Amino acid sequence: MDRIASVIRESQVFLITTHVRLDGDAVGSELALAEVLRNMGKDVTIYNQDETPAMFAFLPGEAAITHAFDGGSHYDAVFFLDCSDRDRAGDNAAALEGAGLVINIDHHVSNDGFAALSFVDYRASSTGELLCRLFTHMNIPITETVATNLYTAIMTDTGSFRYANTASDTLRVAAELVDLGAEFLTVVENVYEKTPYVRIKLMALVLETLDVTDNGSIGTMTVTRRMIDKAKAEPEHTEGIVEMIRSIDGVRVAAFFQETGPDRFKVSLRSKGAVDVESVARRFGGGGHVNAAACRMAGPLPDVKAQLLDAARCALS
């Protein structure tokens, strides 16, 4: 943290980016860091390959995010937030890495140490929690809007403080953010209580694919591009489905297969207790956390599911 703090104090022009398929931790962390830097008089650009999901469009400062990257630009430092590896930032990852001193702030156990400076703690609930530590370390005041963004980051990555990554420190930090003015009711309303109608229509189609195997210990669902088109939905409307599978009584491993192209799938994994789905994802080139991970697989769906189920059984045993 001392080295990162020195770079922040001594530099002027910053770029902030995060992973594709944006979630609350990614967007909330970016916006919080950007506001802190701007309040210090810095020049800040936020670049994301993907558009911000509608549920996070309410976050303070979101309108300033750009989705066009000038590969010729140079920055004093480039923050990769919530990225376990460089390529998680998308198609421009290599150009982003070459645009300035790379600083990585992340909490994934699969982090490969790609950055020149890294602040990584896989025991932390979220990248937002790590930013809280950094700001406290630097004696940086947290405004109400920064608090709202950080609270969103922490709340969403802990599943509203339900997941195993929620520690006593996590709850204390969240409480402090509320004391500092985080609009927690606004966050809850926008993230959890504004479900688009098309998402409900999509869920009706996806639920028909529910399959529970291995004496009820493994649950799976699948969404195809045809289903998304039929419901007039967007890929972002599939977020949270894997948690629904995990919530089934008796299920210890949940797998959600999302078709991204012909014979190509993104697989989201969740587990309960000590079942390590990060090891499952790693077998197929992915990663994440012990209880939450993801990977990409290629092949006909029956073959992909069979391979994934075999790996899940190994994790269970």
SS3 1: coil
C-alpha to C-alpha distance for 269 and 162, rounded to whole angstroms: 16
- β-strand 253-261 against 218-223: which pairing, if any? parallel
Nearest alpha-carbon partner for 32 in 159, 133, 118, 109: 133
Interatomic CA distance for residues 250 and 217, integer angstroms: 6
Helix (H) or strand (E) holding 207: helix 197-207
Q: What would be the CATH architecture of the domain defined by 2-192?
A: Alpha-Beta Complex (3.90)
Output the pLDDT for position 70.
Answer: 80
Residue 73 has pLDDT above 90, yes or no: no
User: In this predicted model, what pLDDT tens digit does every residue of 92-118 receive, in sequence order?
Assistant: 999 999 999 999 999 999 999 999 999
3-state secondary structure of 105: strand
Count CB-CB contacts under 10 A for residue 118: 17
From residue 72, how far is each of 92, 96, 100, 201, 218 by CA, in Å? 12, 10, 11, 44, 48
At 111 the pLDDT is 93
pLDDT in tens, 179-219: 999 999 999 999 999 999 999 999 999 999 999 999 999 99
CA 33, CA 45: separation in Å to the nearest integer? 11
Q: What is the pLDDT of residue 72?
A: 73
Report d(CA 282, CA 284) in Å as an integer.
5
Mean local confidence (pLDDT), 63-89: 93
pLDDT score, position 304: 98
Q: What's the whole-model pTM score?
A: 0.89
Q: Mean of the pLDDT values across residues 128-145? A: 98
Tell which residue, 99, 93, 49, has the closest CA to residue 73: 99
Tokens at 257, concatenated: 């297969």
* Residue spans of beta strands (DSSP E) within 181-285: 211-213, 218-223, 253-261, 264-271
Q: Is the pLDDT of residue 268 over 90?
A: yes
The region, left, alpha or beta by phi > 0 then psi within -120 to 50, assigned to residue 106 is: beta
The pLDDT of residue 71 = 78
Q: What pLDDT, on the 0 to 100 scale, is given for residue 140?
A: 97
DSSP 96: H
Residue 176, classed as helix, strand or coil, is: helix
Considering the chain, tell me which residue range(s) the CATH 3.90.1640.10 domain(s) occupy: 2-192
Task: Kindly report, as residue ranges, where domains of CATH 3.10.310.30 are found in the chain.
Answer: 197-316
Q: What is d(CA 115, CA 101) in angstroms, rounded to the nearest whole number?
A: 8
- The CATH architecture assigned to 197-316 reads Roll (3.10)
Backbone angles phi, psi at 13, to 5 degrees: -115, 120
Q: Is the pLDDT of residue 160 over 90?
A: yes
Sign for the CA dihedral angle at 31, 35, 37, 42 comes to positive
What are the backbone dihedrals phi and psi of residue 235, each rounded to the nearest 5 degrees, phi first? -55, -30
Q: What percent of the chain has pLDDT over 90?
A: 95
Q: How many degrees, rounded to 5, is the angle at CA 145 between CA 139 and CA 146? A: 35
Question: For all residues of the chain together, what is the average pLDDT?
Answer: 96
Burial class (CB in 10 A: 0-12, 13-18, 19+), 251: buried
Could you write out the DSSP letters of every residue in 15-74? Answer: EEEE-SS--HHHHHHHHHHHHHHHHTT-EEEEB-SSPPPGGGTTSTTGGG-B----TT--
